[in-house]
Amino acid sequence: MKKRLALLLAGAMVLSAALTGCGAAKTDDTQKTDDKTAAATDTAAAGATPTLDAIKQKGEIIMLTNAQFPPFEYLGDDGTVKGVDPDLAQAVADKLGVKLKVVDMDFNGIVSALKSGKGDFAAAGMTVTEERKKEVDFTDEYVTSSQMVVVPAGSTLTAEDAALSGKNIAVQEGTTGDWYASGDTENTGSTIKDANVLRYKSGVEAGMMLAQGKADAIIIDQKPAEAIVASQNGKLTLLDKKLTDEKYAFAVQKGQDDLRDFINGVLAEYKDGKVDELITQHMGIK
């Protein structure tokens, strides 16, 4: 795991189904609506899959992620991105018969990169939030998680919002942990006040800063919290309290329902503990 951590740190078209009213004789509004409905029905009946067709045409599907979030994504010893999300994404690519390309970037930039078409979907242990739903569409949820608090071993700090108020809290920038530490009540229910939020490019880095005594706590998702604690050889402690209830999903560009549905079909095959098996497998880090 240490080696992996070092690596982790080192690495740091819309074909909208133009369902516009295309009937020739539009005499009134009612007629227009009928035409639209008819066109939509025709297209659906023909099984139109514009996004999937374009991906097959390219022969490649691009996943956007931030590989600093074990066990969901991390850099393997060979420098490639490994984890639960790449495994699921590979299953999507295999089923489509195309190659998977993984693009590793700052977590904070993933939503806008997806919106501007730099990738076909995001798979990044990303929590479904109302805020993000304004920007992208989410697939079905495949993981349940919570924000948790990690403190230096021996610290008397508790995971109560009142106790965390005014403290130095390390987070990964742009994550729900960042929002929580920042006291974003609307999106996270947090009532933390005036914390000094130290924003890092990765949760792993935040964990190292904590181990070095540069912060009082980190707020981060449960499994990454466990992985970070395990990697710091007894220097850190994970507190029990769950600050939030969150669900992860893949994200696609708005309106790309064919791609979203296709991914949902693959995720459905991973129900009944199969995702948990992947999590266990990728937590078994050296």
- For 52, the token pair is 């999937």
- Angle at which helix 203-211 crosses helix 2-10, to 10 degrees, equals 120
Stretch that binds ligand ARG, among 3-11, 17-25, 31-39, 118-126 (CB under 6 A): 118-126
Among 96, 126, 136, 170, binds ligand ARG (CB under 6 A): 126
**Is the CB of residue 178 less than 8 Å from the CB of residue 221?**
no
Q: Which sign, positive or negative, has the C-alpha torsion 162, 165, 215, 207?
A: positive
CB of 17 or CB of 208, closer to ligand ARG? 208
Residue 51 CA to residue 177 CA, distance in Å, equals 33
> In the complex, what is the shortest distance from the CB of residue 66 to ligand ARG, in angstroms, rounded to a whole number?
4
CB of 35 or CB of 184, closer to ligand ARG? 184
Of residues 199-258, which lie at the interface with ligand ARG (CB under 6 A)? 221
Residue 21 CA to residue 34 CA, distance in Å, equals 9
> In the complex, what is the shortest distance from the CB of residue 175 to ligand ARG, in angstroms, rounded to a whole number?
3
- For 247, the token pair is 């669900």
**Size of interface with ligand ARG, in residues (CB under 6 A):** 14
What is the per-residue DSSP string for 238-266? E-S-----EEEEEEEETT-HHHHHHHHHH
Among 92, 98, 124, 170, binds ligand ARG (CB under 6 A): 124
Stretch that binds ligand ARG, among 19-27, 63-71, 93-101, 271-279 (CB under 6 A): 63-71
Q: How far apart are the first and last CA of the chain?
A: 4
Among 74, 107, 142, 262, binds ligand ARG (CB under 6 A): 107
Tell me if 69 contacts ligand ARG by CB under 6 A: yes
Residue 253 class from Cβ within 10 Å (0-12 exposed, 13-18 middle, 19+ buried)? buried
Stretch that binds ligand ARG, among 88-96, 121-129, 162-170, 275-283 (CB under 6 A): 121-129
Stretch that binds ligand ARG, among 10-18, 39-47, 171-179, 181-189 (CB under 6 A): 171-179
- For 176, the token pair is 């729900």
> In the complex, what is the shortest distance from the CB of residue 278 to ligand ARG, in angstroms, rounded to a whole number?
15
Tally of CB atoms within 10 A around 172: 28
Among 65, 139, 188, 232, binds ligand ARG (CB under 6 A): 65
> In the complex, what is the shortest distance from the CB of residue 221 to ligand ARG, in angstroms, rounded to a whole number?
5
Specify the residue for token string 């999106």.
187
At 197, which helix (H) or strand (E)? Answer: strand 196-200
Residue 195 CA to residue 215 CA, distance in Å, equals 11
> In the complex, what is the shortest distance from the CB of residue 71 to ligand ARG, in angstroms, rounded to a whole number?
11
> In the complex, what is the shortest distance from the CB of residue 147 to ligand ARG, in angstroms, rounded to a whole number?
8
Among 51, 175, 231, 253, binds ligand ARG (CB under 6 A): 175
Among 1, 63, 73, 192, binds ligand ARG (CB under 6 A): 73
Chain positions contacting ligand ARG, by CB under 6 A: 65-66, 68-69, 73, 107, 124-127, 172, 175-176, 221
